[in-house]
Homo-oligomer: A and B are copies of this chain.
Amino acid sequence: MATGSSGSKATARPRRAPEVSVLRVGHRAGRDPRLTTHLALAARAFGARRMFLHPPDRELAVRVDGVVRGWGGAFEIVPAEEWKKVVRSFDGPVVHLTMYGLPLSRVLPKISRAARVLFVVGGAKVPPDLYRLATYNVAVGHQPHSEVAALAVALERLLGVPRPGPWPNARRTIVPRARGKKVLERPGVP
């Protein structure tokens, strides 16, 4: 039996999901704290590994860090002084989420085979260069809505809805219930 890496059974093997990073461009610390927090938490909850934040916002990073310490996983906020550097040095497809782009369904098969994917989400003002520097400009619906919604749906389409169960190093884990709230606390976790 052949065990080569390009055997004919390749399509039957479960493919490893891409490692996803997110880049938030044009965050306004004074105006956007809650929206960018929602964006970061959605990125984490739907399986992204990190969010580059341009411009950096130390308070927000600390806040998100507190969520990671409580609920587990290895998500991190990475300060990005220059967003173009993040885009140019990224080793994989760069997917700019914009209502003006191509339908997600057309681009999804291409990016799902990549080892690493970078989703870029702009704020109120998107630098025009971003359309040119991105590998793909992709729309999650072609109506005005929300970068939080666009990112969450894109991540869900790429990686699926996350299942219940504890995350690595979690102090707190939800036990799904039909009514009310049940949270397992693990005070032993440092």
Contacts and interface: CB of A to CB of B under 8 A. Distances in A.
A40 to B, nearest CB: 9
Most buried by B among A132, A140, A157, A183: A140
A29 to B, nearest CB: 14
Contacts of A103: 161, 163-164, 176
Contacts of A148: 38, 42, 146, 148-149, 152
Interface residues of A, number: 54
Given A34-B34, A38-B149, A149-B38, A139 B176 contact: yes
A27 interface: no
Interface class of chain A by DSSP: mixed
B146 A42 contact: yes
A177 B100 contact: yes
B153 A101 contact: no
Given A101-B177, A103-B161, 10 more contacts: A35-B38, A42-B148, A42-B149, A44-B143, A46-B153, A67-B144, A102-B176, A131-B179, A148-B148, A150-B152
